[in-house]
Structure 1
Amino acid sequence: MSKLDRLDIKQLRIFQALMREKNASKVADQIGLTQQAVSEQLKKLRDVFEDRLFIRKANGFIATPFAESLSIKVDSILTEFQGLVSQTHFDPKTCHDTFVIAATDYAQQIVLPELISQLRTLAPHLKLIIRDFEIDKLNELMEKGKVNLAIAFPDFIPETYPLITLYEEQHVCVTSPNSSILKQEASLKSIAAFPNIIASPSRPNFKGSIDDWFKGFGLTRNVMISAPCFSVVPMYLKSCDSIAFLPAKAIEDLDLVTIPLDKSPDSFDVIAAWHPRYNDDALLNWITSLLKQQYLAGF
């Protein structure tokens, strides 16, 4: 009997679940089998692939390097099989799936509220998980199916990922209405020298996204505060005499003053991206169609 004849879809689903949960008991509960049955299927998989696949530890399993590489192929195979049996017509009203969106702090404020509103109305049984955008882990999370859609900026997304550009955004220089800088004529030099606040969600440091733009003019910003997210920067601006460069859409309806500049940083795109294996996923395609309707209808 060939190795192929010794494999079935159930075993691959169990393998996929073990990669995700790293725990036989949890997998048994999810799939509706006994833990012993899961262990028996795992033994068959080990025989077929001639690899341990998972190594036991105190509270579960650790995947072997071979299992890590195999999981990408298994995910692709199961996605293809799902396409064979899926209905051609997708009805969001009857969808009971769980969908995971990784979004930057900015996207959570600006993009997601309207999208979530539409999803709750049009797909009332769909469960959503919104998680913070982890730039260093994004590819791993999406390869393993733990994130379905990422909403961020192009520089944060692997080049091989399909994406749609939602809109173009621009950084503007803002400060509190009581800031002392409003009493002087603002120039790029004075803006750079004035205490700056930056938002650095991905990595806690004093490097901002427009530092290179300032360097083009031979200037280095006087960054005094690095915040973990965009949403807290307006509050910090009001508590200390400082300025910040924030996305224009993020400051709408806030009690901040925009400082006009002769030159402005380059604009940047806000995008939605996904792993290539989800190209034919009906739920993903429907959700991205909502984003297209929201942002691209006029283009």
Structure 2
Amino acid sequence: MDDLRRIDLNLLLALHALLAEKHVTRAAVRLHRSQPAVSHALAQLRIIFKDPLLQRRGTYMGLTPRALELVRPLDDALRGLSLLLHPRGFDPASATRRFRMAASDFGAHVILPKLMRRLRAEAPGIDLAITQGSRGAMVAQLLDGEVDLAVGVFPDVPADITLRTLFEEHFVSVADRTTLPPSGDLPLDAWLARPHVVVSMRPDADNDVEDALAAQGLRRRVALVLPHWRASTEVLVGTDLVLTVASRTLDRGPRSRNRSLKTFAPPLPLPVFAFQQAWLTQRDAEPAQVWLRNLVRECSQP
């Protein structure tokens, strides 16, 4: 208890913002305080915790090992205080807070337009901060308390992560229609003979299409790997490239506005996959989190 007398709630709020933003100026904006005030708070926190907390690493600031240890317990403590002060639940119409969500380009494409329209109409005080990363990185962000929710495909998660399926998805191929036969599709040998485009955060990452090909002892030539969904369709125009992606990627994207592109079924069986939302199990019953998850589920439907 003596240690608690050395620190007040405002310092804990400043610490929470600094650990989340990893930047004094951004933390000041988040807290609606001046940059000098947050710098002063950081100086006090460094004395209290006997640790720099934030350290420069090249061109950016990173958390020290001690700061990383503080992320989850601090998040839990502030959440507990919030529940103590506001035990009646969560009112989205009057709430003012920021949710942090991890999502791929695909997840943002499918969910975010509807989600933002709902937020502006029903919860105008709610802000969103979206981060992007690999599946492993998103799970790590959940475990470290850096995000409230992650949406994506998670074939394997730790026991303290809860998964719920938002929808099931299937693959389609797309190419410039002028390079396709009159039938509008390609048999397997012609499909394999064409150069392919793969959308991936990492050039060497595993994917379901390669796994399905390997199971049949087949390989395709990947002529382009890139992390950008929109560009992946734009590069098809006027080329013999083929792209195979989740069908809803193309619902409102360039393919739907570009008549030179044609969608067709891949000429080999590819698995249907579950697109999911994931969160820390210990946050199951938090009213604000339940509201966010329900809203994301509703906005993920066609």
Q: Compute the TM-score of the two structures, normalised by the length of structure 2.
A: 0.78
TM superposition shift of 1:237: 1.9
2:95 maps to amino acid: C
- Is the partner of 2:236 in helix, strand or coil? helix
Residue in 1 that maps onto 2:51:
52
Residue in 2 that maps onto 1:42:
45
Instruction: Give the direction of change, closer, same or farther, for the CA distance of 1:39–1:283 in structure 2 (3 Å limit).
Output: closer
Q: Is the 8 A contact 1:206 1:223 kept in 2?
A: no
Q: Is the 8 A contact 1:174 1:258 kept in 2?
A: yes
Residue in 1 that maps onto 2:188:
188
TM superposition shift of 1:85: 1.1
TM superposition shift of 1:11: 4.5
Aligned-pair RMSD on alpha carbons? 3.6
1:270 maps to amino acid: F
TM superposition shift of 1:234: 2.4
Q: Compute the TM-score of the two structures, normalised by the length of structure 1.
A: 0.79
Alpha-carbon displacement from aligned partner over 1:236-265 (angstroms, at most 9, x marks no partner): 222201222121222347243333456420
Residue in 2 that maps onto 1:104:
104
Number of residue pairs matched by the alignment: 292
Give unpaired runs (5+ residues) of structure 2.
Answer: none
- Is the partner of 1:241 in helix, strand or coil? coil
Residue in 2 that maps onto 1:283:
288
More displaced 10-residue stretch of structure 1: 76-85 or 229-238 = 229-238
Give unpaired runs (5+ residues) of structure 1.
Answer: none
- Is the partner of 1:237 in helix, strand or coil? coil
Alpha-carbon displacement from aligned partner over 1:5-40 (angstroms, at most 9, x marks no partner): 656544433433343355667767838594686267
Say whether residues 1:80 and 2:80 are aligned partners.
yes
Residue in 2 that maps onto 1:268:
273
Residue in 2 that maps onto 1:173:
173
Instruction: Give the direction of change, closer, same or farther, for the CA distance of 1:207–1:285 in structure 2 (3 Å limit).
Output: closer
1:212 maps to amino acid: D
More displaced 10-residue stretch of structure 1: 181-190 or 97-106 = 181-190
2:41 maps to amino acid: V
2:83 maps to amino acid: G
The percentage of aligned residue pairs carrying the same residue is 23
Residue in 1 that maps onto 2:150:
150
Residue in 1 that maps onto 2:208:
209
Residue in 2 that maps onto 1:225:
224
TM superposition shift of 1:142: 3.9
Q: Is the 8 A contact 1:109 1:250 kept in 2?
A: yes
Instruction: Give the direction of change, closer, same or farther, for the CA distance of 1:114–1:263 in structure 2 (3 Å limit).
Output: same
- Is the partner of 2:219 in helix, strand or coil? coil
Task: Measure, in 2, the Cα distance between the counterparts of 1:180 and 1:25.
Answer: 53
Task: Measure, in 2, the Cα distance between the counterparts of 1:294 and 1:246.
Answer: 21
